[in-house]
Structure formats: structure tokens, C-alpha cells
Chain A
Amino acid sequence: MLHILTKAPGSDAAQQMQQAVGCEDAVLLIEEGVQAALKPHWEGWQDYHSRIYLLAEDVSASGLGEMVDAHVFPTVDMNGFVSLTEHHLQTVTWY
């Protein structure tokens, strides 16, 4: 399952998503969710290592490119977003 988070870490949406993510699920951070780049200690980075991504377009829109590069956070672009949705049977968006 692909979980799309549109709110910042620490929000209700983020906490409720964290209750639901399974071990084979992936997480995509878009819109406000890219603020996870400001929180390198957010447990999501640890818990979903190698299956969590920031949407590059939203990172640059928010001006967080430097933090992302500094911490080498994984990103995908729009095409990567589309292939994630194709790869996973179900998608759930947390607003």
C-alpha cells in the first residue's frame, strides 16, 4: 500500500498514518509533508527507511532543497510518484 501524507510530521494526519503503515508499505511526503526534511530526527525516517520519499517538486516549491541535499533525503519526481502508485495495489492519502 502507498501512503501519501500531505501534512507535516507531528500532525494528527501524520500520527494516524503512522498507526497504519505496514512493513511492505511505502510513504510519499507531498505538500506540507515535505516539512519532514526539517526534522531529520522524525521517527518516520527510521521506521520507513528505504521506502519513504519526498516529492521533489514540492521540496523545491517550499525552498527546502538545501536541507534535503544536506541530509541526502530520498526524493522522487512526478514520474516517480506515478510509478509508486502503479507499483502499489492500494493508495491512501492522509490529509
Chain B
Amino acid sequence: MTDSENLLVIIRHAPYSSNLLREGLDAALVAAAFGQPVDLLFLGQGIMALLKEQGSGAPGQKASLPTMDMLEMYDIENLWTSEASLAAIGVPSAALRDNVRLLEPEAMSAFMQQYSHILNF
């Protein structure tokens, strides 16, 4: 196994279109609560969760923004996305939260190799 146990949670679905974003964030929060280092990688539609101007939530649904803000309290500071996904979805990086870091396309596979466990939502 890699020297340390660490988890990468990949988020690939937008808020409100399914429960997958909330389930992914919950999985990350639980792992962090148990002291495991956790990073989050947002790809494709998942990038919509990174917009800082989100509203209070679709009618009848719990807003996802508060959960995103809570990540830092659980020491989940590294929010990653890929330049390719950002370009594909057309979100300007200025619209993203401040603490989002960008991965060049060639760096993706080496980036993922660092994690002993990878969950995909």
C-alpha cells in the first residue's frame, strides 16, 4: 500500500440533479472526521459545486453551499479541478471558490497515483 492511507473523493455530478454530490461530500466529511487526509477532485458537472455565488438551494432541497463551506472545518482544504473539465463546462475560474486548485491535463494521472483510496461520485 502507499505509505499513508489517504482518500481522494471525485465529484462528477452537479448539485441538486442527484444526491451524488451530497453523498460524496458526506463520505469525505466522515473520512476526515476519522482523521484520514482527504482531498476532493471536481470533474465535469461536479464543477458546478465550486461556484461561489450559489443560492440557498433548489426548492425543497438542502443547499449544498453550506456543506462546501464546512469542508474547511474538517481540514479538507484541497479542492482540485482539471483545466480540461473547466474549459469543457465553460465556467470562468473567477466564478470559482477561492481555494480551488487547477490540474493540467498531463498531471492528472500522477495526481491520482498519490491516493491509496479513490471514491467516485
Contact = CB atoms under 8 A, between A and B. Distances in A.
Interface in A2-41: 12-13, 15-16, 19-23, 25
A13 to B, nearest CB: 7
B113 A90 contact: yes
A1 interface: yes
A22 B118 CA distance: 15
A92 B43 CA distance: 14
Interface string B92-121: 000000000000010011101101111010
Contact of A19 (B2, B105, B110, B113): B105
B73 interface: no
B2 A92 contact: no
Nearest to B43: A16
Given A25-B109, A93-B120, A16 B12 contact: yes
B115 A95 contact: no
A93 B110 CA distance: 17
Contacts of A48: none
A81 interface: no
22 contacts: A1-B112, A12-B12, A12-B44, A12-B45, A16-B43, A16-B44, A16-B85, A19-B84, A20-B109, A20-B112, A22-B109, A22-B113, A23-B109, A89-B1, A89-B2, A89-B116, A90-B116, A90-B118, A92-B118, A92-B120, A94-B120, A95-B120
